[in-house]
Amino acid sequence: MNNGNYFEMKIKAETCNESFIRSTVAAFCVALDPTLEELNDVKTAVSEAITNCVVHAYSRENSGEITVKVSLSGKTAIIEIRDSGCGISDVETAMKPFYTTKPEEERSGMGFTLMQTFMDGVTVKSEVGRGTTVVMEKTFVKNAK
Ligand SMILES: Nc1ncnc2c1ncn2[C@@H]1O[C@H](COP(=O)(O)OP(=O)(O)O)[C@@H](O)[C@H]1O
Ligand SMILES: [Mg+2]
């Protein structure tokens, strides 16, 4: 049974792990029979959240760990991505479109906006110096228009 099924993994926060995490989360969601488009939505959102852990939470000198947890409930996947990095002082501002603290690195400031666009719900909890947890939900509604 898919209902209540879950997995959790801990992995080094490195760019080279981004595609592995994205594919693993998507593969787990396949059990809920998503459309290709829905699965791509999940991949895009996960990719943005993981990139944020690598780029913002940790630095090149101070790498850390990402915890990814996915649980299935009915036709919904709940995806939690947690880091123990620098944290965000003002989450509301950070989530605004085009807001970025790294414009010099050509960040678009659209990461959170993309997560919100492609997922059905996004919650961000963060504490400065302790880390950030992003929880995203996606309900797969086959052939719904
Ligand atoms: N995991 C995180 N840890 C610390 N800061 C973060 C994290 N995720 C996002 N942020 C902050 O929120 C801002 C907005 O994130 P986002 O919308 O993805 O835009 P971008 O990554 O292009 O800057 C970032 O510039 C950064 O300051
Ligand atoms: Mg980003």
- Residue 67, domain extent: 6-138
Testing ligand 1's pocket by substitution, the residue of 15, 44, 56 carrying the most ligand atoms inside 8 A of its CB is 56
Question: Is 145 inside any structural domain?
Answer: no
Query: Is 143 contained in some domain?
Result: no
Q: Is residue 24 part of a domain?
A: yes
Domain-embedded: residue 58: yes
Ligand closest in space to the Cα of 53? 1
Phi first, then psi: give them for residue 27, nearest 5 degrees.
-60, -40
**Residue identifier of the C-alpha nearest atom 27 of ligand 1:** 101
Cα(107) to centroid(ligand 2), Å: 7
Mean pLDDT for the chain?
Answer: 95
- Structural domains counted in the chain: 1
The token pair at 58 is: 């940790």
Considering the domain boundaries, does residue 23 fall inside one? yes
Q: Is residue 1 part of a domain?
A: no
pLDDT of residue 97: 97
CATH number of the domain residue 34 falls in:
3.30.565.10
Give the predicted TM-score (pTM) of the model: 0.95
Residue 10 within a domain: yes
144: confidence class by pLDDT, cuts 50, 70, 90: low
Q: How confident is the model at residue 60 (pLDDT cuts 50, 70, 90)?
A: confident
Instruction: Tell me what percent of the residues of the chain surpass a pLDDT of 90.
Output: 88
Query: Residue 13's closest CA among 70, 78, 69, 59?
Result: 59
- Find the largest Cα–Cα distance for the chain: 47
29 alpha carbon to ligand 1 midpoint, in Å?
25
Residue positions annotated with a catalytic role: 48, 52, 107
pLDDT tens per residue, range 8-38:
999 999 999 999 999 999 999 999 999 999 9
